[in-house]
Amino acid sequence: MNLTLHVWRQRSADEPGRMERYLAEDIEPEMSFLEMLDVVNEGLIAQGLEPIAFDHDCREGICGTCSQVINGEAHGPLANSTVCQLHMRQFRDGDEIYIEPWRARAFPVLKDLVVDRSALDRLIQANGYVSVSTGGVPDAHAVPIPKINAETAMDAAECIGCGACVAACPNSSAMLFVAAKVGHLASLPQGRVEAAHRVCAMTEAMQREGFGGCGNHYECEAACPKGISVKFIAQLNREYLKALPGKILGK
């Protein structure tokens, strides 16, 4: 099939960008979206033009590197999927496809569709961990954890850190990303010890990094390739309410 692409091109972080039009010809329905871009890029290189820069790595939906807004949807039209797992059978011959980078103040564009997501790393550095050092820990069976809690923790821990929640949020908020980590660790006894400090530190870091606030629009959940539920944002709010008295009393 043949498609018309409108792709965001931007030489560097400091230069303005614009949408450019390209033709993608003889595309097979079995191709992944990124393979389609590979084919387009090979064509551009052959014509002496600069290929489109885009982030990608594992191409199996787990590393969280790929990051494109396709026709106004983060990771494109297929639910619970990353761009790399989106296949061209989702499109029809003659379609026009708009491809844009994640857009948020906290995710500056580096080039074309490549953005800087180091803000997400800094959120995890704000106590998005259990403060345990290597060695000297009890046997793994020392503390039984109810299956349902372990499952809830896993539901949240599946986050791949791609940033689609931020890209899709009308407010560019990272609340689902933060809530996934807060929810993951707060559901386990090992993470409870620091739960109060964690929820405060991570949400404060989110504000510092220039993400917007959560407006409960739930676009994040719809865009999340792992389908992480906004119930974790409700859990984050509960955790924060629990932490608040200590915070106010300066404990």
Partner 1 sequence: MFHPTLFRNPVVRKLLMAFSGLLLAGFIVAHLLGNLTVFLGPNGINAYAHHLKQLGPLLWVFRGGLLAAAGIHVSFGLLLTLENRRARPMAYYRNKPQRSTLAGRTMIYSGLCLAAFAGFHLLHFTLRLLGPEITPWLDALQRPDVFSMLVIHFRLAGFVLVYILGMGALYFHLSHGLGSMLQTFGLNNARTLPWFGLLSSLIAALLAAGFAAIPALIFFGFITVQGGAA
Partner 2 sequence: MILDGKCPAGPLADKWDKHRQEMKLINPANKRKFKILVVGTGLAGASAAATLAELGYRVEAFCYQDSPRRAHSIAAQGGINAAKNYRNDGDSILRLFQDTIKGGDFRAREANVYRLAQVSNAIIDQCVAQGVPFARDYAGYLENRSFGGAQVSRTFFARGQTGQQLLLGAYQALSRQVAAGTVRVFPRREMLDLVLVDGQARGIVVRDLVSGEIRCHAGDAVILATGGYAPVFNLSTNALGCSVTAAFRAYRRGALFANPCFTQIHPTCIPVTGDYQSKLTLMSESLRNDGRIWVPKNRLDERHPNDIPEGERDYFLERKYPSFGNLAPRDIASRAIKEVCDAGYGVGPGKLGVYLDFADALARLGEPVIRDRYGNLFDMYHHITDEDAYRQPMRIYPAPHYTMGGLWVDYNLQSNLPGLFVLGEANFSDHGANRLGASALMQGLADGYFIIPYTIADYLARITPGQVDTNHGAFDQARQEVEAQLNRLLAIGGRRTAADFHRELGQIMWHNVGMARSATGLQEALEQIPVLREEFWQNVRVPGSGRELNQQLEKAWRVADFLEFAEVLTRDALHREESCGGHFRVEHQTTDGEARRDDANFSHVAAWEYRGTGQAPELHREPLTFENTHLAVRSYK
Among 24, 214, 225, 226, binds partner 1 (CB under 8 A): 214
The residue range among 26-34, 52-60, 103-111, 129-137 that interacts with partner 1, by the rule CB under 8 A, is 103-111
Q: Rounded distance, CA 251 to CA 246, Å? A: 5
Name the minimum Å distance from CB 5 to partner 1: 12
Instruction: Judge whether 194 and 181 are in contact, CB under 8 Å.
Output: no
Residue 221 binds partner 2 (CB under 8 A): no
Residue 161 binds partner 2 (CB under 8 A): yes
Instruction: Judge whether 157 and 180 are in contact, CB under 8 Å.
Output: yes
Name the minimum Å distance from CB 151 to partner 1: 12
Instruction: Judge whether 243 and 186 are in contact, CB under 8 Å.
Output: no
C-alpha dihedral, 127 to 130 to 133 to 139, nearest 10°: 180
Name the minimum Å distance from CB 91 to partner 2: 13
Q: Rounded distance, CA 127 to CA 107, Å? A: 21
Which sign does the torsion angle of CA 17, 21, 26, 27 carry? positive
Residue pointed to by tokens 């949400």: 203
Which residues 55-74 are close enough to bind partner 1 by CB under 8 A? 69, 71-73
Name the minimum Å distance from CB 168 to partner 1: 7
The size of the interface with partner 2 (CB under 8 A), counted in residues, is 78
The binding site for partner 1 (CB under 8 A) comprises: 6, 8, 19, 69, 71-73, 98, 100, 103-106, 168, 170-173, 175, 199-200, 203-204, 206-207, 210-219, 221-223, 229-231, 233-241, 244, 247-250
